[in-house]
Amino acid sequence: MVVDKDGYQIHIPIRLEKADRFVSRFLGLMFRKELPENQALWLVPCNSIHMFFMKFSIDVIFLDQMNRIVKLAKHVQPWSVLSPVRSAYSVLELPAGTIERYGIEPGDKLVLL
């Protein structure tokens, strides 16, 4: 994954798993014991998430159709719900702390490889 910050790029060594079917989006990360530091789940299409049956916190990035970040949620706790983000087309679920570690901000564009 690459974060484009208006002219310079940050490479983030994360392997993406894409969830683009109803069942894979619905299940998401539920019932998993952890999300390894080098993995992320990309929910397409999606504009809100729930953390029911989760066992760990995550960072969440809401993306528009051009993969520009429209909203961030850091350290989202199990059993919480994030309201729909009207301008979001997809959601990226990352290990907690990833947003801060790489300085990811709203307006940055992601290149998802």
Find out whether 58 and 76 touch, Cβ atoms under 8 Å: yes
pLDDT the model gives residue 77 = 97
Q: What is the mean pLDDT of the chain?
A: 94
- pLDDT at site 7: 81
How would residue 27 be classed by pLDDT, with cut points 50, 70 and 90? confident
SS3 state of residue 82: strand
Backbone angles phi, psi at 38, to 5 degrees: -105, 20
Residue 113 has pLDDT above 90, yes or no: no
The residues, ordered by sequence, that sit 6+ positions from 92 with a Cβ below 8 Å of its Cβ are: 16, 40, 41, 42, 43, 60, 61, 63, 110, 112
Please give the Cα distance from 6 to 44 (Å, whole number).
24
Q: In the chain, what are the domains? A: 1-112 (2.60.120.1140)
Q: Which of 17-26, 54-63, 64-73, 81-90 has the lowest mean pLDDT?
A: 17-26
